[in-house]
Structure 1
Amino acid sequence: MLVSLESGAARACVDLHGGELRSWFVGGRELLWNADPVWWDQSAPILFPIVGSASGGQIRVDGSGRPMAVHGFARQHEFAVSGRDPASITVTLTSNQEIRKVYPFWFQLSVTYALAGSSLTASFSIANLDRRSIPYALGFHPAFRWPFDDVPRHEYKIRFEAEESPLVPEVTSDGLISARRRLLPIKRRILDLADELFTSDAMCFLNARSGWFSLDAGGSGSCITLEATGFPHLALWSRPGAPFVSMETWTGHSDPEGFTGDSFEKPSMRILAPGETADHCVRLSFRTAD
């Protein structure tokens, strides 16, 4: 089921399946990728309770292996509407017996999408409803049209708030984080987008210095900026030739190559104590050259 939001000239659409943002329309432009299955059948999935891949397709909890899909299961479940007005909606996923077969914890994941002018905010809240601590990772995976403006595709750039290391981890063929590094052509906080950057999976900026990064339409002055709070990792992903680029924010990441430990021991997982709630936020904003 799709739910529409509206604020002035801005519009958005949220799918209750996966709680996924499916459309973001500002200033006469659709900015979000349209989930064309020829390239990628999603627009902005929520990643939970892991980000990326688990070694062997399994997580380990209490000494037992449990199957876990890439980026977790949240995007495969129906969310319930727990609050709504014309410009915002809150959707919630609560654990149940089916979910506990793969992730044996009681939790509630809520997401509030809110439009305000040329900005859209996605606020995430994770509540531990269990009697013991729970391990989790959360990610937001929005993809934007490339190009989104009347500028040649090869003129688009990623601009970072701060200088990032040009050395990023290689991603293995099964999606794990390698100890090997690859060199990116970042110059003075700018990465020129090109298809060849995406032949080796995602570019992962772990423990990034930047709190925001933007997709700039060349020298036109138009840009989409993603500002993250409570997400230490940033990533870029696409497929060579695809008319979109995904700007991602993560609290965690794929298993390191060779990792076989418990979920509580996995690097970059958050541990949430009983009764605690963790909040994370992403703000998308669009600036036009007009």
Structure 2
Amino acid sequence: PLLFPIVGRLNGDVLHIDGADYPMKQHGFARRSLFTLVEQSATHAVFLLQDSAETRAVYPFAFALRVTYTITDATLEIAVAIENRSESPLPASFGFHPAFAWPLPYGLPRADHRIVFAEDEPDPLRELVGSAISSGRRPSPLQGRTLALDHALFTQDALIWDPVHSQSVRYGASTGPQLRVDFPDTPMLGIWTKPGAAFVCIEPWHGIADPEGFTGDIREKPGIVTI
């Protein structure tokens, strides 16, 4: 899923814009939208989502969201560009939500899998109350730079680094093949799974859920970028 124009959940599932209220489900509408394929080759594809009467009913802005997927050898690069086609500044957030098999298909047990950060991450994590961001923080579960994966980590929903100092993590078992996930342009990172699910999500974000009790305009929402 691609998270746009918000990341996370809004208080009451309502977006406040210039004194008007609009219904908006968790993570926005791009994840449920049909993109148009506008360009392709053997190694890349470009998809486009533009505003429509349906999107303007919940997000009154003209925009173009362009997503380019490129494969080079064993690397997949996903590049996202948001274009403002409105006359006024465009407030938006964007996030990735890729899920990776847990365990990876190399015959090693789930309990041996971990995520290793490229840099030290000394800060405590954001804490969720329901789907809202609490004013409190939770202790980091990292041992050094390593997150040993366990479903007990996610009983309070996602782990949220805000800010995240690393621009890359490695995921896999302690031996065998690894996946490297680079995220050079996103200041936050969520790691999440459903209880009992056979995947783990590594989610670079430029945006975050509403703070607990937040009722302000979208332009005052933490993590919003003005384009």
Counterpart secondary structure, 2:82:
strand
Question: Which of the pair has the greater relative contact order for Cα pairs under 8 Å at 6+ separation?
Answer: 2
Q: Deviations over 1:139-177 (max 9, x none)?
A: 01000000112111101011001111362121111x111
Match of 2:197 in 1: 242
| 1:110 pairs with 2:66 | yes
Q: Does 1:180 align with 2:142?
A: no
| Alpha-carbon shift at residue 195 of structure 1 (Å) | 0.8
Corresponding residue for residue 127 of structure 2: 170
Equivalent residues in 2 for 1:1-290 (5 A)?
A: 45-148=1-104, 149-165=106-122, 167-173=124-130, 175-218=131-174, 220-272=175-227
- The answer as to whether partners of 1:105 and 1:130 remain within 8 angstroms in 2 is yes
1:12-50 alpha-carbon deviations (Å, 9 max, x no partner):
xxxxxxxxxxxxxxxxxxxxxxxxxxxxxxxxx000000
2: CA distance between counterparts of 1:203 and 1:186?
A: 11
Separation (CA, whole Å) in 1 of partners of 2:88 and 2:185:
23
Q: Contact between 1:198 and 1:240, CA under 8 Å: does it hold in 2?
A: yes
CA distance in 1, matches of 2:170, 2:159: 15
Aligned position for 1:17: none
Please identify, of 163-172 and 142-151, the stretch whose mean Cα deviation from structure 2 is larger: 163-172
- What amino acid maps onto 1:155 in structure 2? D
Secondary structure of residue in 2 paired with 1:229:
coil
For the residues of structure 2 that align with 1:176 and 1:77, how far apart are their CA atoms?
24
Q: Which amino acid aligns with 2:32?
A: Q
Unaligned runs of 5+ in 2: none
Deviations 1:98-143 (A, max 9, x none): 1101000000000001111110000001000110101000001000
Tell me the CA shift for residue 87 of structure 1: 1.3
1:166–1:186 Cα contact (<8 Å) kept:
no
Paired letter, 1:151: L
Unaligned runs of 5+ in 1: 1-44, 273-290
Task: Name the amino acid aligned to 1:46.
Answer: L
- Kindly provide the amino acid, as one letter, of the partner of residue 217 in structure 1: A
How far the C-alpha of 1:240 sits from its partner, in A, is 2.2
**RMSD value over aligned CA atoms?**
1.0
Secondary structure at the residue paired with 2:153? helix
Supply the distance in 2 between the matched residues of 1:147 and 1:193 (Cα, whole angstroms).
10
Q: Please state whether the residue corresponding to 2:226 is helix, strand or coil.
A: strand
**Structure 1 length as normaliser, TM-score?**
0.76
Percent identity of paired positions between Structure 1 and Structure 2? 38
Query: Taking structure 2 as the reference length, what is the TM-score of the superposition?
Result: 0.97
SS at match of 1:235: strand
**For this pair of structures, how many residues does the alignment match?**
226
